[in-house]
């Protein structure tokens, strides 16, 4: 779906914008809706450098309060393509470089966009940075107000220190 025609491009910088459905890239949960990808292609005599940034709307569940929320998850990557006539001889030279034949017609970015989008899903999902979470006793969402639970019970081993603290007030 996202292919950039590179044959017959002269040296220079090229900007591309792509939009489509996340499912067209075979990107599923937690992603929903559409994606937007901005690509900057820089072509030189012996290489092509592609910088891409993608934003995809995601449906997430907050790890603190368990509420569902929507967020745009952004991912970006850079690929360096070196032109080589005999690609088999170039294999294994550098892991972060992709070798392509000088007569390559198009570069397909679908797999890279999909892979980086999957890696961009945060390990901890928060509906907001100041989410208060749930009360550990009654389970009330503390973002909606305080609960009626009693103060925390103090471990009896800490009572002597609590008494000293009360005397100093």
Q: Cβ(110)–Cβ(79) under 8 Å? A: no
pLDDT of res. 35? 92
Q: What is the CA radius of gyration of the chain?
A: 26
Q: Note the residue count of the chain.
A: 169
DSSP state of 33: E
Among residues 119, 109, 108, the alpha carbon closest in space to that of 31 is found at 119
Cis-peptide, bond into residue 30, ω within 30° of zero:
yes
The rounded distance, in Å, linking the Cα atoms of 107 and 16 is 13
pLDDT of res. 24? 87
Maximum distance among all alpha carbons in the chain? 84
Task: Locate the domains of the chain by residue range.
Answer: 3-131
Handedness of CA 25, 31, 33, 35 (dihedral sign): negative
Over the chain (169 residues), the average pLDDT of each successive run of 10 is: 88 94 87 92 93 94 93 94 72 70 90 92 92 88 85 76 78
What is the reported pTM? 0.74
């Amino acid at each position: 779906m996202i292919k950039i025609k590179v044959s017959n491009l002269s040296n220079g910088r090229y900007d591309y914008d792509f939009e489509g459905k996340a499912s067209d890239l075979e990107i599923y949960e937690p992603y929903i809706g559409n994606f937007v990808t901005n690509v900057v292609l820089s072509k030189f005599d012996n290489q092509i450098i592609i910088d891409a940034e993608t934003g995809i709307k995601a449906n997430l569940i907050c790890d603190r309060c368990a509420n569902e929320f929507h967020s745009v998850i952004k991912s970006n990557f850079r690929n360096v393509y070196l032109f080589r006539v005999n690609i088999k001889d170039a294999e294994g030279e550098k892991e972060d470089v992709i070798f392509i034949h000088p007569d390559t017609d198009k570069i397909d970015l679908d797999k890279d966009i999909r892979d980086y989008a999957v890696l961009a899903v945060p390990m901890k999902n928060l509906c907001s940075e100041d989410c208060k979470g749930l009360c550990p006793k009654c389970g009330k969402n503390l973002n909606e107000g305080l609960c009626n639970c009693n103060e925390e019970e103090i471990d009896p081993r800490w009572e002597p220190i609590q008494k000293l603290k009360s005397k100093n007030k």
